[in-house]
């Protein structure tokens, strides 16, 4: 596989690093394999939350319905912020592969800023809903909504902390093979959250407003 192909496909980079780990340590790519297992378990958690929301999404208990409380343009803006953060993360990968610490940290910092903006908008949305009386206790629909969206927001917050730690570690340790593996695990986690949010935006917000 060429260097260009590796730089353009994060999954290829991940498996390439796993192969290097096998060669250097005689192991079986435990770091990458373990993280894939974690992502699969996390996917099951989100699948359960989506299923729960699907069951109770019309249980309004006389409370507000989605089209009355969802600010679709605001949510679309937030979606754009998270999608942009995945693009900026992707910009860091070729620099990481080339061993350029400065540009890698720069694009990672931009990703963190976009992610922080996403969390900020989500907190504003939650506070606005609660101020209007659309609290989790109001109906099963709202309980499921706050649980699903809040769980995703908590994951993004963890990702932001991970980004900060990675930026600091890159400054101290450079782009050693262990740091590259950690970087690619972070990349998989961040893109996974992006995919989950597309499902949230489509299934919860967009479908909730138009049905």
Distance CA 208, CA 211 (A): 6
What tens digit of pLDDT does each residue of 119-142 get? 999 999 999 999 999 999 999 999
Q: pTM for the full model?
A: 0.86
What tens digit of pLDDT does each residue of 14-56 get? 445 445 444 444 444 677 889 999 999 999 999 999 999 999 9
Mean pLDDT of the chain: 89
Q: CATH number, domain at 47?
A: 1.20.120.80
Q: Where does the chain have alpha helices with state H? A: 3-8, 10-25, 30-56, 66-69, 72-98, 101-131, 140-173, 177-200, 207-210
Predicted local confidence at residue 143, as pLDDT? 98
Q: pLDDT at residue 159 above 80?
A: yes
For residues 195-207, give the mean pLDDT: 97
What tens digit of pLDDT does each residue of 91-109 get? 999 999 999 999 999 999 9
Q: Which residues contact 207 (CB under 8 A, 6 or more apart)?
A: none
End-to-end CA distance of the chain: 47
Domain total for the chain? 1
Q: What range does the domain containing 107 cover?
A: 3-210
Predicted local confidence at residue 30, as pLDDT? 78
Predicted local confidence at residue 164, as pLDDT? 98
**Could you tell me which of 130, 192, 123, 189 has the C-alpha nearest to residue 161?**
189
Predicted local confidence at residue 29, as pLDDT? 66
Predicted local confidence at residue 31, as pLDDT? 78
Distance CA 141, CA 103 (A): 44
């Amino acid at each position: 596989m060429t260097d260009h192909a590796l730089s353009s496909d994060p999954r290829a980079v991940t498996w390439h690093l796993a192969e290097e780990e096998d060669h250097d340590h005689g192991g079986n790519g435990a770091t990458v394999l373990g993280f894939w297992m974690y992502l699969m378990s996390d996917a099951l958690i989100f699948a359960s939350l989506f299923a729960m929301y699907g069951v109770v999404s019309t249980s309004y208990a006389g409370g507000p319905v989605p089209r009355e409380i969802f600010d679709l343009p605001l949510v679309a803006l937030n979606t754009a912020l998270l999608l942009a953060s995945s693009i900026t993360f992707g910009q860091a990968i070729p620099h990481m592969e080339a061993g350029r610490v400065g540009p890698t940290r720069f694009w990672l910092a931009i990703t963190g800023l976009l992610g922080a903006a996403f969390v900020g908008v989500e907190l504003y949305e939650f506070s606005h809903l609660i101020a209007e009386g659309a609290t989790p206790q109001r109906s099963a629909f709202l309980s499921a909504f706050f649980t699903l969206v809040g769980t995703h927001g908590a994951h993004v917050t963890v990702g932001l902390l991970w980004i900060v730690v990675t930026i600091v570690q890159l400054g101290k340790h450079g782009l050693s093979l262990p740091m590259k593996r950690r970087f690619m695990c972070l990349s998989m986690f961040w893109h996974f959250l992006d995919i989950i949010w597309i499902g949230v935006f489509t299934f919860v917000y967009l479908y909730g407003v138009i049905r």
